[in-house]
């Protein structure tokens, strides 16, 4: 499709002249395909659609290749083999041909060839004879008449070998300047004022052409506004942003609106011929390909500012995008990595999206951030509820203590062998749920950084493959309370305690006589705990019954230093704190299954609460879990590397094991900063 572009040009100097361009928008649904022959450019011949013709321009033509071309011709032969393969498989072979010819290795090869030619051109070599082939025949004839000797025999064989014959034939072609195709001579008297025209021929099909047009406000010219990466126009290399459209199928576009041009194109059938005045300085996209993780979502259909809605690329939080063009300061071109074969689409640049986020933020009525009430902040009402809960616990202290004991017993069981799994203590889990996290964190990081509405909308990412000698990546499980995060974590560790381990949390409460420092908890003073908090060495922390509980970076590091995989559960707000180069966390979101499934599967499941020990799930609990999961996904989905729906516990556990293995052994997208720090160190 060619689409009308509303403008949105970068405000840089290169495009200043376009500031006055029209901002009308429309779309014309021209689907077009194979681009045949322009006159001026070194484009594929019009016979491209015929497989037999495909070979012609790519034979190692003798007059194009410098002498040591054995390697080159070999590679070109490979290219031809590939093309033949593609051709027999794919009707749309021309596109593949184009892709191949655009491949960097072929370009490099041609460049070498060209450089060699240039070198020889400078030397002005003159052939000793233009008829080396005839000469060799003559020599062979003479040799036949001379007395036989092994040397003469060998010379005859050499001269009659097909390779040498081909070489001599190539020599003669070059020597006689017998080049093809013959181009018509240029007329001598072209007036200087006359603009060079390019004729571009396109054949409509289901593929979009991938270009947008706009009208220049001052001159009224119809210009190609944007050529979309990966579209036919771009792959043809014949249409560039800035080209002036003169005629479409013989109809002059002078004085027409973009919409009228679009109408002509929409009405056209089969081949469409464009006459264009090429832009004097075609833009070159020399930027390297960048990959980013979308930290927000974008819907072009809801964005009235997009230059061309149909060319927009919608994306969701967490999508990995390949940015292919950043020439425009406002509108980039990108593809989703899940869909790299397609034409690119327009997305707002980092700068523009940030601006949009800020505008959106200010347009919203003020709301305290209580949408994840149970995990982030606690409203006044909840504060009161909590006090009541705490009172209940206080009143029931003995029972509570004995329950902690019984939980210990439970935790000592595994594979018929007694071993202790840290990080599952009831107090720690309850403190997470009832933590004063937001208040505590506010103390540490100050309102400005924590409440910043709009972080970077894109995060640059790279493929990271952990080397066997590297420490393992931290595995973080996130999910709404009761979904089974701890159950899955426990099952994973029990599966192979020599490989998987939890971090030992810290607490400011005093050690009980059956506990061991560094086993259940690291017992530290309030001052030590707070100093860890203030120096950002705590991944998570909270207060429960007047004591502080939390997991430190060092505790996680201790597990990783042992060569084990540290598996921890975190509240989603803690993910950002854990996302560091040293821990390289792999975040798995544990999601509840549907209500009806959970009603079945959670029949015998028990919730941990601060005063009921074996409380069964009620429908409201399941509903709350589902709601919270949705909110978590909406707010933190961009950080999730993997999602597991916890329906059947056995399946979920198998999925978890496989995901954890992949995280450690297969390449994953991680923030670019994690890897650049790697190379620095
Ligand atoms: N897939 C499942 N099928 C049946 N029961 C399950 C499943 N997953 C978890 N459970 C049970 O649900 C209950 C709650 O699970 P778990 O304690 O792991 O929740 P949690 O996500 O860690 O919650 P919290 O963060 O509040 O501690 C447990 O009794 C557990 O055995």
8 A C-beta contact, residue 492 and residue 507:
no
Place of tokens 């060319």: 311
As a whole-number percent, the residues of the chain with pLDDT over 70 amount to 68
Q: 598: Cβ below 6 Å to ligand 1? A: no
Instruction: Kindly state the tokens that stand for 84.
Output: 């033949």
Give the distance (Å) from ligand 1 centre to CA of residue 408. Answer: 17
Average pLDDT of span 72-96: 63
Distance 656 CA to ligand 1 centre (A): 15
- Among residues 214, 398, 321, 310, the alpha carbon closest in space to that of 638 is found at 321
CA 611 / ligand 1 centre spacing (Å): 17
Most confident of 357-366, 382-391, 413-422: 357-366
As given in the structure block, the two tokens for residue 117 are: 């030619």
Cα of 130 vs centre of ligand 1, distance in Å, is 87
Indicate which atom in ligand 1 lies nearest the CA of residue 652: 1
- Binding site membership of 605 for ligand 1 (Cβ less than 6 Å): yes
Q: Is there an atom of ligand 1 within 6 Å of 230 CB?
A: no
Assess whether the C-beta atom of 637 lies below 6 angstroms from ligand 1: no
CB of 425 sitting under 6 A from ligand 1: no
Ligand 1 center to residue 482 CA distance, Å? 5
- Angstrom distance (rounded) from CA 424 to CA 551: 12
Residues facing residue 606 across a β-bridge: 616
Mutating to test ligand 1, I would choose from 486, 573, 609 the residue with most ligand atoms within 8 A of its C-beta, which is 486
Query: Confidence class of residue 189 from pLDDT cuts 50, 70 and 90?
Result: confident
Measuring from atom 25 of ligand 1, which residue has the nearest CA?
481
Of the candidates 564, 542, 524, the residue with the CA atom closest to the CA atom of residue 444: 542
pLDDT at 615: 75
Phi, psi of 633 (to 5 degrees): -65, -40
Compute the average pLDDT of residues 457-483: 93
The C-alpha angle 338, 335, 589, rounded to 5 degrees, equals 45
Tens of pLDDT, residue by residue over 500-523, are 999 999 999 999 888 889 988 999
Length reported for the chain? 681
The reply to whether ligand 1 has any atom less than 6 angstroms from the CB of 486 is yes
Bridge partner residues of 589 (DSSP): 478, 643
Average pLDDT, the chain: 75
Going by C-alpha positions, the residue among 481, 474, 527 that lies closest to residue 500 is 474
**Residue 487 Cβ contacting ligand 1 at under 6 Å:** yes
Complete domains list, the chain, with CATH: 2-39+195-277 (2.30.42.10), 46-175 (no CATH), 296-363 (2.30.30.40), 380-445+464-680 (3.40.50.300)
Lowest mean pLDDT among 106-110, 207-211, 310-314: 106-110
Q: Of the candidates 183, 292, 209, 302, which has an alpha carbon nearest to the alpha carbon of residue 3?
A: 209
pLDDT tens track for 10-56: 333 333 333 333 333 323 333 333 232 222 222 222 322 322 222 22
Task: Give 260: exposed, middle or buried? Use CB within 10 Å, 0-12, 13-18, 19+.
Answer: middle
For a ligand 1 pocket test, name from 424, 429, 602 the mutation site with the most ligand atoms within 8 angstroms of its C-beta. Answer: 602
Which range has the worst mean pLDDT, 321-335, 428-442, 523-537, 543-557? 428-442
- The Å distance, Cα 210 to ligand 1 centre, comes to 51
Cβ 423 under 6 angstroms from ligand 1: no
Q: Does residue 213 line the site of ligand 1, with CB under 6 A?
A: no
Residues 155, 159, 160: CA angle, nearest 5 degrees: 115
Q: Which atom of ligand 1 is nearest to the CA of 488?
A: 18
DSSP state letters, 162-197:
HHHHHHHHHHHHHHTT--SSPPPPPPS---TTPPP-
Q: Based on the number of CB atoms within 10 Å of its own CB, is 170 exposed (0-12), middle (13-18) or buried (19 or more)?
A: buried
Q: How confident is the model at residue 95 (pLDDT cuts 50, 70, 90)?
A: low
Least trusted range by pLDDT, from 101-110, 217-226, 621-630? 101-110
Tell the residue nearest (CA) to atom 11 of ligand 1.
605
Which tens digit of pLDDT belongs to each residue from 195-246? 678 888 877 677 777 888 888 888 889 999 889 988 878 877 788 889 999 9
What is the tens place of the pLDDT at every residue in 147-186?
A: 889 999 999 999 999 999 999 999 998 888 777 767 677 6
Report the interhelical angle of 104-123 vs 93-102 (nearest 10°): 60
Q: Decide whether any atom of ligand 1 lies within 6 Å of the 572 Cβ.
A: no
The rounded Å distance from CA 597 to ligand 1 centre is: 14
User: pTM, whole model, 2 decimals?
Assistant: 0.65
């Amino acid at each position: 499709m060619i689409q009308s572009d509303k403008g949105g040009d970068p405000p840089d100097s290169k495009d200043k002249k376009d500031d006055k361009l029209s901002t009308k928008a429309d779309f014309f649904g021209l689907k077009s395909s194979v681009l045949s022959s322009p006159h001026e450019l070194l484009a594929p011949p019009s016979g491209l659609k015929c497989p037999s013709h495909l070979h012609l321009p790519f034979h190692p033509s003798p007059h194009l290749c410098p002498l040591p071309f054995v390697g080159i011709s070999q590679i070109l032969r490979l290219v031809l083999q590939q093309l033949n393969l593609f051709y027999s498989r794919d009707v749309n072979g021309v596109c593949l041909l184009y892709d191949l010819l655009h491949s960097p290795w072929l370009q490099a090869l041609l460049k070498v060839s060209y450089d060699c030619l240039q070198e020889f051109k400078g030397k002005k070599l003159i052939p000793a004879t233009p008829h080396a082939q005839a000469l060799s025949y003559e020599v062979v004839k003479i040799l036949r008449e001379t007395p036989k000797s092994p040397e003469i025999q060998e010379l005859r064989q050499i001269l009659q070998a097909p390779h040498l014959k081909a070489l001599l034939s190539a020599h003669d072609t070059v020597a006689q300047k017998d080049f093809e195709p013959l181009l018509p001579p240029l007329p001598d008297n072209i007036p200087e004022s006359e603009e060079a025209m390019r004729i571009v021929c396109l054949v409509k099909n289901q593929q979009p052409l991938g270009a947008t047009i706009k009208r220049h406000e001052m001159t009224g010219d119809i210009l190609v506004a944007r050529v979309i990466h990966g579209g036919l126009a771009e792959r043809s290399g014949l249409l560039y942003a800035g080209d002036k459209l003169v005629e479409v199928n013989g109809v002059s576009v002078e004085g027409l609106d973009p919409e009228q041009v679009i109408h002509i194109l929409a009405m056209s059938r089969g081949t469409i011929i464009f006459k264009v005045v090429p832009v004097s300085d075609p833009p070159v996209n020399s930027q390297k390909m960048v990959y980013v993780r979308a930290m927000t979502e974008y819907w072009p259909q809801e964005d009235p500012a997009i230059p061309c809605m149909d060319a927009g690329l919608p994306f969701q939080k967490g999508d990995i995008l390949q940015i292919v063009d950043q020439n425009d300061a406002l509108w980039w071109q990108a593809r989703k990595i899940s869909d790299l074969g397609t034409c690119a689409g327009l997305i707002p640049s980092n700068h523009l999206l940030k601006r949009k986020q800020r505008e959106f933020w200010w347009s919203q009525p003020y709301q305290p951030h209580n949408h994840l009430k149970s995990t982030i902040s606690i409203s006044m009402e909840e504060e009161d509820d909590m006090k009541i809960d705490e009172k209940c616990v206080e009143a029931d202290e003995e029972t509570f203590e004995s329950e902690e004991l019984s939980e210990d017993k439970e935790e000592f069981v595994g594979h018929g062998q007694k071993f202790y799994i840290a990080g599952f203590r009831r107090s720690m889990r309850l403190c997470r749920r009832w933590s004063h996290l937001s208040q505590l964190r506010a103390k540490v990081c100050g309102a400005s950084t924590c409440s910043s509405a709009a972080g970077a909308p894109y995060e640059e990412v790279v493929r990271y493959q952990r080397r066997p000698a590297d420490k393992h990546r931290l595995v973080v499980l996130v999910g709404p309370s009761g979904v089974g995060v701890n159950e899955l974590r426990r099952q994973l560790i029990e599966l192979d305690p020599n490989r998987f381990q939890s971090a030992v949390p810290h607490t400011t409460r005093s050690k009980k006589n059956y506990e061991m420092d560094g086993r259940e908890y690291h017992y530290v003073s309030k001052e030590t705990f707070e100093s860890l908090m203030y120096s950002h060495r705590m991944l998570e922390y909270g207060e429960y019954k007047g004591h502080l509980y939390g997991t430190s970076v060092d505790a996680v590091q201790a597990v990783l230093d042992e060569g084990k995989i540290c598996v921890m559960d975190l509240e989603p707000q803690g993910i950002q704190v854990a996302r560091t180069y040293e821990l390289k966390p792999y975040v798995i979101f544990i999601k509840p299954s549907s209500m009806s499934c959970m009603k079945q599967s959670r029949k015998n499941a028990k919730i941990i609460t601060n005063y009921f020990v074996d409380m069964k799930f009620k429908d409201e609990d399941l509903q709350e879990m589902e709601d919270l999961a949705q909110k978590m996904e909406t707010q933190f989905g961009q950080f999730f590397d993997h999602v597991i729906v916890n329906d059947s516990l056995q399946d979920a556990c198998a999925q978890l094991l496989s995901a954890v293995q992949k995280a450690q052994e297969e390449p994953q997208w991680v923030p670019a900063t994690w890897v650049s720090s790697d190379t620095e160190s």
